[in-house]
Amino acid sequence: MFRKLFTFEEAKKAIEKHFAVKPLGIEEVSLLEAYNRVLAEDVVAPLDIPPFNRSTVDGYAVKSEDTFGADENRPVKLKLCGVVNVGEMPKIKVEHGTAAEIMTGAPIPEGADAVVMAEDTERKNSDIYIYAAVAKDENVMKAGADIKRGETVVKQGQILGAREIGAIAAVGLSKVKVYKIPRVAVLSTGAEITEPGKPLAQGKIYDINAYSLSTAVMESGGKPVYLGVFPDDPNEIEKALRHALTSADIVVTSGGVSVGPKDVIPKTLSFLGKPGVIVCGIATKPGKPTTIAIVEGKPIFALPGHPTSALLIFHLLVRQIIECMAGRKTVEAATIRAFASTRMFPARGRRTFVMVKIKRDESQRFMAEPVPVGLSGAITTLLRADGFIEIPENQQFVDAGEGVTVHLFKNLENIRV
Amino acid sequence: MFRKLFTFEEAKKAIEKHFAVKPLGIEEVSLLEAYNRVLAEDVVAPLDIPPFNRSTVDGYAVKSEDTFGADENRPVKLKLCGVVNVGEMPKIKVEHGTAAEIMTGAPIPEGADAVVMAEDTERKNSDIYIYAAVAKDENVMKAGADIKRGETVVKQGQILGAREIGAIAAVGLSKVKVYKIPRVAVLSTGAEITEPGKPLAQGKIYDINAYSLSTAVMESGGKPVYLGVFPDDPNEIEKALRHALTSADIVVTSGGVSVGPKDVIPKTLSFLGKPGVIVCGIATKPGKPTTIAIVEGKPIFALPGHPTSALLIFHLLVRQIIECMAGRKTVEAATIRAFASTRMFPARGRRTFVMVKIKRDESQRFMAEPVPVGLSGAITTLLRADGFIEIPENQQFVDAGEGVTVHLFKNLENIRV
């Protein structure tokens, strides 16, 4: 097993080399269950919308030339030949000298080519007086005027919201092809780790990572398969990983990846299948022990045990792979520009990610204030940081007052500053 | 039945007067299913985190005073008294002159008050040479240093994401109290309206609104109860509305609210129960026929049939009520400033909402270009508009080039400009 640290970019390239990141597949779902799914093929209108010439007003359907010359002083008189209701196909025909009463949205009857608005008419028994001329097609929405048969209504790749789902319903489809949701197995390891809800024996602590990472999977458009907590036992870990590989498309573990004698994850990964471990440690801080393997064509990300490190590396390396497998365009996390509140040093030779809290200074400028990561604040760091800044390997430091780009964990609107 | 148009503000006040908008209730869910739910009570740590004094390094647990004076040239020699592993409660006691081997994360054994890092030591059989002095508590994380028992970990009202769910797991909880999700019954009416997926008879069109509004309900944090399409038959509508009231907390209908003889919704709402119709028409464009009733303590929003109008009025009046019932803080839709691409006129005496598309002009400024609403583009309007601008009742017009605030339907990042 090699122990050369990869740079962040080398780690990404190694993944790309051994694993073709692409959408997982396509499934058909009911349109009512398609919210927030990603459309897997263009939706093409199978019919004209509207499907027929339609009145846009309440009034009288006429032959337009019968109304020529009509005005307020010299109305044209037509004979009522019937009524056209909404939702019915008209059985009547409008001949010269006649008019059909028509409702908004009803189909234009045969023979008519325009509609006179009710307010421009007067009715006396079956005589209709027309007080305004109409041009051909006036107050008529032609078949296909909104969408033509064969036209693309919503494009492949679109995330489906209220407007897109309404438009797909409009062309008559009740089902829609969307990208499958990748299943991501999540498990934690460590002799001291206990599942929440169980009694806590002395010397043990509760698991954080399987919960935070399962949720991060959902935030990325995947479906977590929660497998729970496993002790540092090679047989148990091997069994758990084999089970994970059969029940999911990606596996994410945390803990058990340092160099200690109990760090069984890298050892187990090295004999589970080919090519096995492709990245064994990355030159970042935090996240150095991160180990990545490909087994049976599925990626396994073994993240560090520290909760903030695990979630950060998930954001940097795993999130985009889940998004891509889910057919989602990878959206870079939102960023804002801020000023460093203090001088910050990178770890020597490692790309350093500093967790920061966003504050405002007295002139209302955004300030990025480091939140210490480390054993001293596993949970408080997780909750207090609004995002992180990245310091390149070759940079000496970020100076106090220097402008920095903060990658936000969530939208700035949800951050109280 | 009164037909006075309410202003937009009067309509909102009428709702507040007759319906106490507040969270619906509380339920307990598994922490693994709590993603995107709203926390209904403060989560308070039932134990210290960490629960015990914990080593932050691999090394040797010692009495700090035994190491005083030790340096690279004059090591202190201690006798190995045992090993403390992670996840185990130490059975040994560190006496003067002794040291216990200890792993990162393991509990500090009785008698020890500091840990010397492994790299500052040398081991010869059971003799440990200490090459650096440590102070009391050095390399020790005290019980409760991250979170004290009784401390609030996550506050009531917080929407639960990866970090919050991780923190709740950390204090050992596998269940969490969240606000109930309001159920919103959605139905469409109209003789011409056909459910997608069914064959389309001549003169009919497919339903859009039950689909777009059901999705908008999900976007607002509610659960839609899709009831389908009903013809303009008073008995059928009454049955449908009574069913809706028993199966949901809010009812949203569309269509059947104009003044035509077939507009049965307002009539039915007027005798369903007290107080019945509280708003019968609002002075907005679009949205004028919007009718609001309270029956059996539940609000019924009867929206116009035009898809863009229905969705707009939903956004303006219904969304915030669902959000509040779901325990969510109502977040105003994101806005951007843009310049009007053309002069826009409000409808006389009505607050006018103009659907706009965001473009960039040659100097990269955001331009708001009106998208015509009306029968001529039910679907295309819905899809093309990025948001809307609001023109007050008393304003003559918005001039071309004038700065306007655009209320966005979705985040600007998702809009191609």
CA–centroid distance for A367 within its chain: 30
d(CA B59, CA B75) in angstroms, rounded, equals 15
Encoded tokens for A129: 């007086």
Within a domain: A238? yes
- The answer to whether residue A200 neighbours chain B at the CB level (below 8 Å) is yes
Which of A68-82, A301-315, A360-374, B292-306 comes out lowest in average pLDDT?
Answer: A360-374
Query: B34: domain range?
Result: 26-46+155-179
CA–centroid distance for A230 within its chain: 32
**Selected residues 265-304 of chain A with any CB under 8 Å from a CB in chain B:** none
Distance from CA of A53 to the nearest CA of B (A): 9
Report pLDDT for B335.
87
The reply to whether B120 and B234 lie within a common domain is no
d(CA B207, CA B205) in angstroms, rounded, equals 7
The reply to whether A41 and A69 lie within a common domain is no
A179: closest CA among A203, A148, A156?
Answer: A156
Report pLDDT for B260.
58
Within a domain: A410? yes
Within a domain: A81? yes
Report pLDDT for B2.
47
The reply to whether A122 and A188 lie within a common domain is no
Sheet with B250-254, edge to edge strand ranges: B223-230, B183-189, B250-254, B298-303, B291-295, B275-280
**More confident call, A212 vs B348:** A212
pLDDT tens by residue, B311-325: 999 999 999 999 999
Last residue of one domain, picked from the residues A295, A325, A355: A325
- The answer to whether residue B260 neighbours chain A at the CB level (below 8 Å) is yes
Distance from CA of A233 to the nearest CA of B (A): 13
The reply to whether A244 and A119 lie within a common domain is no
DSSP A236-270: HHHHHHHHHHHH-SEEEEES--SSSTT-HHHHHHH
Which of A254-258, A288-292, B243-247 comes out lowest in average pLDDT?
Answer: A254-258
The reply to whether A110 and A196 lie within a common domain is no
d(CA B350, CA B392) in angstroms, rounded, equals 8
Contacts of B414 in chain A (CB under 8 A): 159
A58: closest CA among B369, B150, B95, B261?
Answer: B261
Mutate to test the interface with B, among A205, A257, A322, A330 (most CBs of B within 10 A): A205
Last residue of one domain, picked from the residues A262, A290, A325: A325
Report pLDDT for A100.
97
* CATH code for the domain of A241: 3.40.980.10
Contact A217, A252 (CB under 8 A): yes
The reply to whether A362 and A404 lie within a common domain is yes
Last residue of one domain, picked from the residues B299, B325, B351: B325
The reply to whether A248 and A116 lie within a common domain is no
Report pLDDT for B329.
86
**More confident call, B90 vs A378:** B90
CB–CB contact B141 A376 (8 Å)? yes
List of residues 6+ apart from A14 with CB closer than 8 A: A6, A278, A279, A292
User: How many structural domains compose chain A?
Assistant: 4
Q: Indicate if the pLDDT at residue A93 is higher than 70.
A: yes
Report pLDDT for B382.
78
Contact B18, B101 (CB under 8 A): no
CB–CB contact B196 A173 (8 Å)? yes
The reply to whether B33 and B162 lie within a common domain is yes
d(CA A141, CA A115) in angstroms, rounded, equals 10
Encoded tokens for B292: 């609001």
Contact B101, B82 (CB under 8 A): yes
Q: Indicate if the pLDDT at residue A207 is higher than 50.
A: yes
Number of other CB atoms surrounding residue A12 within 10 Å: 18
- Mean pLDDT (chain A) is 92
The reply to whether A174 and A37 lie within a common domain is yes
The reply to whether A347 and A299 lie within a common domain is no
Cβ-Cβ contacts under 8 Å between A and B: the total is 271
d(CA B276, CA B260) in angstroms, rounded, equals 20
Report pLDDT for A261.
55
Q: Which residues pair with A337 in a beta bridge?
A: A405
d(CA A243, CA A183) in angstroms, rounded, equals 13
Distance from CA of B414 to the nearest CA of A (A): 9
Segment of A13-27, A363-377, B353-367, B383-397 carrying the highest mean pLDDT: A13-27
Which of A240-249, B183-192, B260-269, B274-283 comes out lowest in average pLDDT?
Answer: B260-269
* CATH code for the domain of A403: 2.40.340.10
CB–CB contact B163 A193 (8 Å)? no
Distance from CA of A194 to the nearest CA of B (A): 9
A99: closest CA among A63, A57, A145, A47?
Answer: A63
pLDDT tens by residue, B322-360: 999 999 987 677 789 999 999 999 988 899 999 999 999
pLDDT tens by residue, B210-234: 999 999 999 999 999 999 999 988 9
Contacts of A106 in chain B (CB under 8 A): 192, 203
The reply to whether A283 and A396 lie within a common domain is no
Q: Nearest by CB to B56, which of A161, A205, A375?
A: A375
Report pLDDT for B414.
52
Q: Nearest by CB to A161, which of B195, B213, B219?
A: B219
Within a domain: B2? no
Contacts of A158 in chain B (CB under 8 A): none
Contacts of B47 in chain A (CB under 8 A): 200
Contacts of A45 in chain B (CB under 8 A): none
CB–CB contact B307 A166 (8 Å)? yes
Encoded tokens for A31: 């349109």
DSSP A314-351: IIIIIHHHHHHHTTPPPPPPPEEEEEESS-B-PPTTSE
Q: Compare all CA atoms of chain A with the CA of B377 and give the residue at the minimum distance.
A: A146
The reply to whether B82 and B224 lie within a common domain is no
**Helix A209-219 and helix B162-170, axial crossing angle in degrees, nearest 10:** 160
pLDDT average, residue stretch B42-49 = 96
**Is residue A359 exposed (0-12), middle (13-18) or buried (19+ Cβ within 10 Å)?**
middle
Report pLDDT for A300.
98
Which of A2-6, A118-122, A146-150, B59-63 comes out lowest in average pLDDT?
Answer: A2-6
CB–CB contact B172 A103 (8 Å)? no
Report pLDDT for B374.
60
Encoded tokens for B47: 């134990």
Contact B265, B256 (CB under 8 A): yes
Q: Indicate if the pLDDT at residue A413 is higher than 60.
A: no
A218: part of which helix (H) or strand (E)?
helix A209-219
Q: Nearest by CB to A205, which of B50, B165, B215?
A: B50
CB–CB contact A383 B163 (8 Å)? yes
pLDDT average, residue stretch A394-415 = 82
CB–CB contact A219 B162 (8 Å)? yes
- The answer to whether residue A211 neighbours chain B at the CB level (below 8 Å) is yes
Report pLDDT for A415.
54
pLDDT average, residue stretch B389-417 = 82
Question: Cis before residue B370, ω within 30 degrees of 0?
Answer: no
CB–CB contact A197 B213 (8 Å)? no
pLDDT tier, A349 (very low <50, low <70, confident <90, very high otherwise): confident
Identity (one letter) of the amino acid at B282?
I
Within a domain: A149? no
Encoded tokens for B2: 């009164």
Alpha helices in B36-98 (DSSP H): none
- The answer to whether residue B209 neighbours chain A at the CB level (below 8 Å) is yes
CB–CB contact A146 B378 (8 Å)? yes
**Is residue A158 exposed (0-12), middle (13-18) or buried (19+ Cβ within 10 Å)?**
middle
Q: Indicate if the pLDDT at residue A35 is higher than 50.
A: yes
- Mean pLDDT (chain B) is 92
Within a domain: A148? no
Within a domain: A265? yes
- The answer to whether residue A132 neighbours chain B at the CB level (below 8 Å) is no
Contacts of A334 in chain B (CB under 8 A): 413
DSSP B257-283: -SSSTT-HHHHHHHHHSSEEEEEE-BS
pLDDT tier, A173 (very low <50, low <70, confident <90, very high otherwise): very high
pLDDT tier, A326 (very low <50, low <70, confident <90, very high otherwise): very high
d(CA A93, CA A101) in angstroms, rounded, equals 12
* CATH code for the domain of A34: 3.90.105.10
CA dihedral A403, A407, A410, A416 (to 10 degrees): -20
Distance from CA of B274 to the nearest CA of A (A): 32
Contacts of A307 in chain B (CB under 8 A): 166, 170
Report pLDDT for B393.
87
- The answer to whether residue B233 neighbours chain A at the CB level (below 8 Å) is no
Within a domain: B75? yes
**Is residue A373 exposed (0-12), middle (13-18) or buried (19+ Cβ within 10 Å)?**
buried
Distance from CA of A32 to the nearest CA of B (A): 7
Pairing, β B26-30 against β A403-408: unpaired
Distance from CA of A100 to the nearest CA of B (A): 16
Q: Percent of chain A beyond pLDDT 70?
A: 95
